[in-house]
A and B are shown apart, each in its own frame.
Chain A
């Protein structure tokens, strides 16, 4: 009984924190973007402008929730939910602290990869159901981007898996006690992070959205809370990729003992979230074909090479 209760508390607590973090990121992103562009950003509503989160959420709730008459209604309504569900499910395997993890699957990493791949259905179905050429183009780009970046996202992580000998994220963090994997797998980290940006379709890889070319890409026809779902899904995606990067390469909750493990995890994750925003502030969007070329011709061979070298070194060191 008490074990069930603990599970419930952990699940509800994580859900609560995550949704609040996603909402708070609205403010964080606007403030940080502004600071990096020599502006101040929203600072009027409430202390430091924090109430803009409230205002924005209320605005989304009260906007007209319009479904275009030419859209495929059922799919149109379902699509925004998919991205949020997939991302939230992925958080189930993230080890926030030694005792705060919803489920420690022995295939945790594969579960994460699977869930983040399912997220692409949201884009494809949303763009397809909108029955709008811009949405369709966005969905098309989203699909091909996700598929091509999915490949070496997984491949770049295999080095970590080889070093740990397990797919369990808890075990992966534990294995970094002596040395964070960023030092052993720097190439893997860079490739994974680039793929992660593409996976969350954030700038500079936001070509499914590409507001300067495709109106708003796959969510051109969405309004109200359905758009809000895509919005929250994106911020949750950032948090997810940041958290998983921390868990895989930056020692998760590990850190000097003067702070509790969860605080270390949060600090590291926040750093990566801010880096995501910094990327948005600094880099231009590549052309669609450039993105594909970069993925297949540079990152895929590089991740394969990384895999080969890592495997070779492990074999060499483990020789009797």
Chain B
């Protein structure tokens, strides 16, 4: 009986506590920098697309909401011909970001993407691509890759030795 009265009293005191409610449209939520919201495709410091069209994000996606088609330009640099994310399916798990070997696909703290028409939730490459390096500034995949794709010559990369003519090593 005493405990009942005590719990009634304690509940009553909650009248004077600070309210948890955030009055959303007027008052925004404070999102953490690593919040997993809208998915973007980032660019490298030179402004080129980071995505190399490896399909790892599409393979990692548990709800199969990512579709892309890889292609190559004349210098041999791979990029996605189209890149489509269906946000009406996306569960914002971030597996695509973890799978991405070139830090191209990233989740950013933005969730305000409601639409009246469902089809508008299908984002194409031009909707996804942003003019920013995202969470990994300064990273340029083709600068560290052992591949000449028009960014640097073979062996001119940051952690690379120039290629050795193996025939010269012959005894």
Contact = CB atoms under 8 A, between A and B. Distances in A.
B7 A283 contact: yes
A170 B5 CA distance: 32
Interface string A274-306: 000011011100000000000000000000000
B18 interface: yes
Chain A binding surface, main DSSP class? helix
B14 interface: yes
A180 to B, nearest CB: 21
A308 interface: no
Interface in B2-18: 4, 7-8, 10-12, 14-15, 17-18
Contacts of A282: 7-8, 10-12
**Which one of A40, A279, A282 has the greatest number of beta carbons of chain B within 10 Å?**
A282
A36 B15 contact: yes
Contacts of A35: 14-15, 19
Contacts of A3: none
Contacts of B14: 35-38, 281
B20 A38 contact: yes
Interface residues of B, number: 14
Interface in A4-58: 35-40
Given A36-B14, A37-B14, A278 B19 contact: no
B21 interface: yes
B8 A279 contact: yes
A38 B19 CA distance: 5
Contacts of B73: none
Nearest to B8: A282
25 contacts: A35-B14, A35-B15, A35-B19, A36-B12, A36-B14, A36-B15, A38-B14, A38-B17, A38-B18, A38-B20, A39-B20, A39-B21, A40-B21, A278-B8, A278-B11, A278-B12, A279-B8, A281-B11, A281-B14, A282-B7, A282-B8, A282-B10, A282-B11, A283-B4, A283-B7
Interface of A: 35-40, 278-279, 281-283
In the A-B complex, the 4 residue pairs with the smallest Cβ-Cβ separation, listed nearest first, are: A282-B11, A40-B21, A282-B8, A38-B20
Given A36-B12, A37-B14, A278-B12, 18 more contacts: A35-B14, A38-B14, A38-B17, A38-B19, A38-B20, A39-B19, A40-B19, A40-B23, A278-B8, A278-B11, A279-B8, A281-B11, A281-B14, A282-B7, A282-B10, A282-B11, A282-B12, A283-B7
